[in-house]
Amino acid sequence: MKLAQGFVQLYTGNGKGKTTAAFGATLRAACHNYQVCFMQFLKGGHDAQSLSCISNVDYFCFGKNHETDGWYAPLGEGELPPQEIVDGWNQAKEIIQKSEYNLIVLDELNVALAFGFLDVNDVISTLQQKPLELEIIITGRKAPQELIQIADIATEMREVRHIFNSGIPARKGFDF
C-alpha cells in the first residue's frame, strides 16, 4: 500500500515531545498497515523494546553511548563523527531511495547535524530526492534553518515547565 503523497515533517525545539510525537505517528501508521522504519541517532536503544512488538516496524539505532547505553555526547571541538553515525546516515539514504517503507523516522537527526557529524546539504539533497509517496519525520533539538525551510511541516516544541529541572530523572516507560 502506497501513500498518494508523502511529506517531510520536522519536530524540533527544547521542549519534550519530539520523539513521542514520532512514536505516535509510527503507531498510527503501523496500525493502518503501513511499513515503518524508525532510525534513532545518538540515543540508547531503550525505544527498541517499545517498537519490537510491532511487526511492521523496523528499528535501527546508531551512535549511542555504548558505555552508558544512553545519549551520546561529543568530547570536544573538531571531534570526528563516530563512524556508526555516518554509517547510519548512509543506510538511511539507501532505505529512502529504495522506497520499501511508507514512513521513515529519523529520530535525533537534527542533533547529529547540530554536532556537525553529518552534512546538512547532503540531508537536504536526500530529502529533496525522496520518492513522492514516502513520508519522513525528522526529530531533535537545534534543527538547522535550511532544513526547517524545506520541510512541509515544521513544529517547534517549547519547554514551559519540566520535572527534569527539579532533579527528577527520566522515567522508564514515560520518558524513554
Per-residue confidence in pLDDT tens, the chain, 176 aa? 788 899 999 999 999 999 999 999 999 999 999 999 999 998 766 677 788 889 999 999 887 654 445 556 665 666 666 788 999 999 999 999 998 999 999 999 999 999 888 999 999 999 999 999 999 999 999 999 999 999 999 999 998 888 888 888 877 777 76
All 3 cell numbers of residue 174? 514515560
Give the per-residue pLDDT at 170. Answer: 76
Residue 76: per-residue pLDDT: 60
Q: Taking a C-beta distance cutoff of 8 angstroms, is the pair 72, 42 a contact?
A: yes
Instruction: Give the pLDDT of residue 71.
Output: 59
82 touches 63 (CB < 8 A): yes
Q: What share of the chain is helix, strand, coil (3-state, %, to 5)?
A: 35, 20, 45
Residue type, 176: F
Closest C-alpha among 148, 170, 156 to residue 69: 170
Q: Do 71 and 175 meet the contact criterion of CB atoms below 8 Å apart? A: no
**CATH entry, 8-161, from 3.40.640.10, 3.30.450.270, 3.10.129.10, 3.40.50.300:** 3.40.50.300
Grid coordinates belonging to 157: 516544541
d(CA 24, CA 11): 13
SS3 at position 95:
helix
DSSP label at residue 56: T
Strands, E assignment, 18-167 = 36-41, 57-62, 103-107, 135-139, 153-156
Return the half-sphere exposure (C-beta side, CA atoms, 13 A cut-off) of residue 43: 22
DSSP character for 52?
T
Count CB neighbours of 112 within 10 A.
24
| DSSP letter, residue 163 | G
Residue 83 confidence (pLDDT): 86
Q: What ranges do the domains of the chain cover?
A: 8-161
For the record, the C-alpha cell of 103 comes out as 514512513
